[in-house]
Amino acid sequence: MNNYIKQISFNSVVPPSTASHLLAFRQLKSYILHKGMKNHIKFYMNLYGTNTPDPQIITQILGQSINIAAFSSYVWNMPKLIEICNSIKKEKPEILIVLGGPYASFMADTLISNSGIDLIIKGSGEETFYRVVKKIAEDSQNWYDIPNVVYKEGSKIITTPIHYDFDVSKQLYDLCVEDGDSSYFWYETSRGCPFKCRYCSWNSEQKRQIKYYPYEKIEKDLKAIFNLKYVKHLEFCDSDIFLKKNHGIQILQYIHQFNEERRKRNWPEINIYFETNPEFIDEEAIHEISKLPVGQTTISCGLQTINEHVNNYHLNRNFHKDKYIHNLKRLCEGVKQNVSIEIIYGLPGDTYESFKQTVNFLVSEIKFKRFVSAHFLVLPGSYFWDHYEDFNLIFSKKSPHRLISSNTFSEEEISKAKRLTFFMYLFNTILFGIKRAVTRQAKSDYMTVYDKIINHIELNYPQFISELYCFYEKNEDIETILKLLQYTANKNLINLRYDIINEARQIIKNYLLKQETTI
C-alpha cells in the first residue's frame, strides 16, 4: 500500500429538518479506521440539506482535493444526487464517484448507465467500501474481485457476485461520533427487519433478517453520543426497537442513565425518536418510554390503514386490529411524549373511503400529538415495485415514484386524499382550535363536520389556503412551516386564524342544532 494519503469526501444530502451526517458514513468511516487505515486516508464529511442549491454543493466538493466522492442514495435525495454526480464527473473525471444506500442497491443498472457515477455498492457497505478504498490506496481500479459492486467497463456494466456476509452482531469497534456539531444524531442498534410488508424495501436484499449489535458496543457508542454536549436529538434507525421487548427496554435504560448524567452536568437531555409497532409493547415498555424526556421525544407508530383486510391481505402486515388499537390507546394515555401515527394514502387495496375511515379513526379515537400521512411510493426493491401490473399501479418514473393511480384509487381520489391530509395537518397545528372543538362536540360525525369546515375555508379563504398548499405541493417540510406559523407574531395572520376557528365553531354548532331538530 502506498504511504501517501488518499482523500475521501462523504456527502450527506438530507432533509433540512433532520440535518445531520448520515449514519451510513459514520459506519463506513468507523469500519475503515477499525481496519487499520487511519494513516492512509483523510476524510471530509460534507453536510447539505435537500434544499441546498446544487452549485453550492458541487463547488464545495470540487474545492476539496479528493480521490473519492461518496454519496448515499434514498428516494428523497434522488435525482438531486445524479445532477451533482454528473457535474463533478464533468469537471474532474479523475474523482471516483461512489454511490451506496438503499436506492442505489435496487436501481444500480439504471443509475450507472446514464450518469457520472463510477461505482455502485449494493447492500450493507462497510466491507465492500473498505475494499474499494484499499484498492484506491494501492492505486488500483480493478473492481472485479470485490463482491456487491456494479461498475462500468467501456460500454459494459459489470455486476460482481453478491455476498451478504456483513454481520453487525459481531462488530465490536466503536462508532466515530465526532465530525460536525449538528444537534441531530442517527444511530442503529440492529439492522434489518424480519417482516415482508409489500410497500417497504427495508433490507429486502438481505433475506429479511434482523441482526442486533452487541450490547457492549451499543452501550459504549451511546455513552459517547451522550457525551457530546451539542447533541439534542437522537434518532434510532432500527426498523423497530421493541421487536424484542427486552432489547427495547435495555436501550431505553441506557438512555435514562446517560440522560441522568447529562442532567447532573446541567446539560439539556437528549430527545429520542424511534419506530415501534404498538402490538409489541406492554405496560413495562410504556413505563420505560414515559421516563424519556418529554420535550420533542417522538414514538412513531406505523398504522398505514385501519382496514384490517388491506393491512393483512394486500400489504402482508401481521395486523391484529383490536390488539393494535388497545395498545396504541394505552401508549397515548400512558406517556406525555409525542406519539406520532404514520398512515399512507393510495395503498393497493385501499380506497379513498377507507382512507377517510383511517383519518376518522385517528381523529375520533386516538389522542395522538402528531401524524404523518404519506403519499404511497412504489419503492424500488419492494413487492409492489416488482408486481405493479397486478394492481394497475401507475406511478411516476422519477424518484420518489409517487403513485398516480391504481385499480382502487383514481388520480382524482389521490388529489382528494392529499387535500384532506393537508387540512388535517392544519387542524393539528395552526388551526388546532378546530380539532379541539370537533373532538369535544362532534360526537361521532367527525368527518362530516370536518368536510363542512374544509369546504367553508376553501370557499372563504382561497388565498390563505393556496399559499400554504403551494408549500405543501413543493414537498417542503410542511410540519415545520406550520409550527413556525403557529407561533407567529404577525397580527394579520393571528386574526385570520381566530376568524377561521370561530367560524368553524359556528359551523359545528349549526350542524349539531340541525341534527337535534332532525331527531
Interface residue list for ligand SF4 (CB under 6 A): 193, 195, 197, 200, 202, 239, 302
Q: Which residues contact 514 (CB under 8 A, 6 or more apart)?
A: none
Grid coordinates belonging to 370: 402528531
Q: Per CB under 6 A, which region of 171-179, 251-259, 376-384, 505-513 contacts ligand SAM?
A: 376-384
Angle between helices 446-460 and 462-473 (to 10 degrees): 110
User: Binding residue for ligand SAM (CB under 6 A) from 24, 200, 234, 270?
Assistant: 200
Q: Does 105 bind ligand SAM (CB under 6 A)?
A: no
Nearest distance from C-beta of residue 17 to ligand SF4, angstroms: 21
d(CA 171, CA 77): 29
> Phi, psi (5° rounding) for residue 272?
-115, 145
Q: Is residue 493 close enough to count as binding ligand SAM by CB under 6 A?
A: no
Residues 6+ apart with CB under 8 A from 450: 363, 423, 424, 427, 438
Report the candidate in 106, 110, 132 with the shortest Cα–Cα distance to residue 119: 132
For ligand SAM, the closer of residues 275 and 445 by Cβ is: 275
CB of 342 to ligand SAM, least distance (A): 3
**429 contributes a contact to ligand SAM by CB under 6 A:** no
Q: Let me know: does 434 contact 453? Beta carbons within 8 Å.
A: yes
- For residue 368, give the nearest of 343, 339, 342 by alpha carbon: 339
In one-letter notation, the amino acid at residue 433 is G
- Interface with ligand SAM in residues 326-345 (CB under 6 A): 342, 344
C-alpha cell at 330: 394505552
Give the residue with the Cβ less far from ligand SF4, 237 or 493: 237
Backbone angles phi, psi at 475, to 5 degrees: 65, 30
Q: Which does 379 bind (CB under 5 to 8 A by kind): ligand SF4, ligand SAM, none?
A: ligand SAM
- Establish if 277 lies at the interface with ligand SAM (CB under 6 A): yes
Choices 218-226, 372-380, 406-414, 417-425; region in contact with ligand SAM by CB under 6 A? 372-380
Residue 135 or 244: the one with the smaller Cβ distance to ligand SF4 is 244
SS3 44: strand
Shortest approach of ligand SF4 to residue 326 CB, angstroms? 19
96 binds, among ligand SF4, ligand SAM, none (CB under 5 to 8 A by kind): none
- Check residue 62 for interaction with ligand SAM (CB under 6 A): no
Task: Report the C-alpha gap between 305 and 352 in whole angstroms.
Answer: 11
Binding site for ligand SAM (CB under 6 A): 199-200, 239-240, 275, 277, 302, 304, 342, 344, 374, 376-377, 379
